[in-house]
A and B are shown apart, each in its own frame.
Chain A
């Protein structure tokens, strides 16, 4: 860095633990809570997906009213791999926002009528998409994998119809973000924890009898410690199961052995758990979140305000523009 200013730039590392289509567990190291939290927040609120936003109901003789059905339709997750490249309908210049435009919207049709005596479930499978890449997630999953058990999946129920009832509508799905409405949030669960560092005072531990050890281990609501069957020593089996409840510390104190175990949260290591709604893959969710975060930083860095405010920011302004 010019001027000999010490930089606090860090190079965070990611290690993927477990990866599935809708589940991802990874470690984020060598960064701090602000970065980890920014990533979490962006995943929940700012990664775009596609969801039904406009519903035009032609016929609805079902028991649920139009608003009810529209709300339910909105909450159906749609496969949104295209979302990052799509335009928001508010700043789409190819159309006037009526949803007939391929750049910003996808049209769905639903036309179901019950003509039998049993109740008929209207499900997400009845939604006909005009774009094969944007489908309700359960429909997409059914068509993609052969191993998928179709009998188990009945689809996302929208409404039930009895004989003579009918539902016919046109719906327009648009790109959006979770900040505007939760239906656009691709994240079912995004959370992180600080990685715990557990140090057992071996000397003090050895002074405990086997029964004492056992009762101490059992004081933890989660299974963090265990006894090695061979050596009869207490070992840490799963440090991440520890929930910072401090039960074991309290137990040690109650047993008259304060300092038996020391547990600290590592300030710079985070274990993320990401579950996706299925709109985009969990891995893609993280990548898109980083992309969105970068775009946001670029917006700050490249805005005229920051150039104008160079005097104010000084070194920082140059740094922000990558100087």
Chain B
């Protein structure tokens, strides 16, 4: 048995743990030699290979709500946040101070202990402060930090980042120091997550898929023995992938649970005679009252009528992958922009916009949706008002003091028009000018 203890003592940047790991029902000799069966990386889910509700197309899986309630696929996510209390030499250091219990910041500092650090066991919400740190504003002046007045410090608090409504618990706090006497504070934030629509799961055959929908147990199909699957997988996953191993795993797993012995699924029955061949597995199944093929008669949970086809059903070892929607979902209306181009930022971490790319643009052009294009590519991105000289075709400017428009090349404001163009376009013109290329705008009546 591999002990879990070190994982709970270490301060890992990111750690995913399964709440109820299981040993696979069907292993191979290699898996045993490597000790992978002792790692507990997944759970033996009863899988029905059938189509259900349409939310299982394109490798999606349908999950049983009751199974999730009982702990299937539940995982613990531990994330580290750290902060440094820096030593600037000369006895000047960052300081951690007792949080104010009243005032503007008090609410965000609720979880802080009197030592100015988040205390273990507290629930932390996005934008909560987990360390009440202050840095000296002048870092080079002599004297000791004890001698510095409070006014010499400015706050450099750190806040917990996450999307709205995503709470975590402070699991552990550790303090370490290095040679330069910098103190590092490490906080482990813990979250327990139950699977939700969009979380990714995989069997051990590379058959990965996201959870397409979660359906309550009473709507799930059931067999006359009372077996109700944990998971429904679409049969279209098989023909092109040719994952025969998965089918053998299902059979072997089913035989395993019905006769009470872990089975081996090594390929081709392996010369040493160690593995269980499909024929032997089928025999075990028949002995225990199942069909030799691993298929069962299943009743629809919605109507109570038996389904037309026999359903291939049995346990398959499923692993929860670390790609979870909670870490990925993102949407934005207004938000931050890049300073250089004034266009919306990119990426979830910067609360970025969703790009209407070249191919999407091509579609809109082909469709002739010019107003939509105009809106997407300029109005919603980086609109900018410029003054253009009709004579020289270069950009002028608006003099706010004199409230006049001026062309700096012609030295007058007689022939200036105002128009809108993307800021990126204006930027391009100016960059070209800096390279001694002169772009001139020729305006026509709109």
Contacts and interface: CB of A to CB of B under 8 A. Distances in A.
Interface stretch (A178-186, A199-207, A309-317): A178-186
Interface stretch (B27-35, B62-70, B153-161, B419-427): B62-70
Interface string B179-191: 0000000000010
B297 A185 contact: no
B69 A44 contact: no
Given A45-B216, A65-B171, A192-B224, A182 B291 contact: no
Interface string A207-246: 0000000000000011000000000000000000101110
Contact of B217 (A44, A75, A241): A44
B164 interface: no
Contact of A71 (B8, B74, B190, B285): B74
A243 B289 contact: yes
Contacts of A40: 218, 304
Given A68-B19, A191-B226, A221-B286, A245 B291 contact: yes
B222 interface: yes
Given A65-B171, A179-B216, A244-B297, A33 B289 contact: no
A247 interface: yes
Interface in B43-69: 65-67, 69
Interface in B1-38: 8, 19
Interface residues of A, number: 38
Given A178-B217, A265-B306, A68 B192 contact: yes
Contacts of A193: 224
Given A36-B304, A65-B190, A75 B70 contact: yes
A119 interface: no
A179 B74 CA distance: 19
B225 A191 contact: yes
Given A34-B303, A65-B192, A182 B65 contact: yes
A123 interface: no
A221 B290 contact: yes
A192 B190 CA distance: 43
A194 interface: yes
Contacts of B363: none
A37 B304 contact: yes
Contacts of B301: 37, 41
A273 interface: yes
Nearest to A223: B289
B71 A71 contact: yes
A67 interface: yes
A245 B169 contact: no
B76 interface: yes
B226 A65 contact: no
B304 A190 contact: no
Given A38-B304, A183-B70, A221-B285, 18 more contacts: A33-B303, A34-B304, A37-B302, A37-B304, A40-B304, A65-B169, A66-B121, A66-B169, A179-B218, A182-B70, A191-B224, A191-B226, A192-B304, A221-B291, A222-B289, A243-B297, A244-B297, A265-B306
16 contacts: A37-B304, A40-B218, A41-B301, A65-B169, A65-B171, A65-B190, A68-B192, A75-B70, A181-B69, A182-B65, A182-B70, A189-B226, A191-B222, A194-B306, A243-B291, A275-B226
